[in-house]
Amino acid sequence: MLTELEKKVVAALQGDLPVTARPFQRPAADVDMAEAQFLDIVKGLCRRGVIRRFGATIRHQRSGFSANAMVAWQVPEARVDTVGELFAGYDAVSHCYRRRAARDWPYNLYTMIHAGDAAACHSIAAQMARAAAVDTYRLLFSEKEWKKTSMTYFSE
């Protein structure tokens, strides 16, 4: 359970952090708090596992990665953890998730591959398939993006 003060800190961190030498200074000021106190609360939330990480969102199209593909993999249940860890280690993979297979959709592991073009995505997926000895997979290419935002947990 979070205190009201911790909720304010989380709310202040939900947006983009400024790219400065002291990125937490402005969010601390936004909640009328000294930067040191703000950082102490953030560190405590990290220690407790409430905050697991801070990440940067790269607009892949603007950085030279014009293709991305969600790859749906059909992996034997006994191997899904091992294969997931292997796939998560690839530099071209930004996301790797396990999900339950459905009756008409037998895929249970998903990776997001980013590359310069569709052919490179196919090549990377084929390399991953060989490395994991997984034969059944499908590449689903993004065609249009309507929304890409971070989750908002607390509003002010």
Q: What is the pLDDT of residues 73-108, one digit of tens each?
A: 999 999 999 999 999 999 999 899 999 999 999 999
Domain match, 34 and 81 both: no
In a domain, 29, yes or no: yes
Domain match, 25 and 92 both: no
- Percent of the chain surpassing pLDDT 70: 89
Domain match, 23 and 89 both: no
Query: Model's pTM, two decimal places?
Result: 0.66
For residue 155 the two structure tokens come to: 């509003």
Helix (H, G, I), strand (E, B) or coil at 70: strand
The residue among 47, 46, 26, 28 whose CA lies nearest residue 37 is 28
pLDDT band, very low/low/confident/very high, at 16 (cuts 50, 70, 90): confident
For residue 104, give its domain range: 60-141
In a domain, 31, yes or no: yes
How many domains, the chain?
2
Helix H or strand E encompassing 53: none
Domain match, 125 and 79 both: yes
In a domain, 89, yes or no: yes
- Listed in sequence order, the residues at least 6 apart from 12 whose beta carbon sits closer than 8 Å to its beta carbon are 27, 28, 30, 31, 38
35 vs 116: which has the higher pLDDT? 35
In a domain, 53, yes or no: no
In a domain, 52, yes or no: no
In a domain, 54, yes or no: no
Mean pLDDT for 130-136 is 98
Residue 52: predicted pLDDT: 85
In a domain, 17, yes or no: yes
Domain match, 39 and 70 both: no
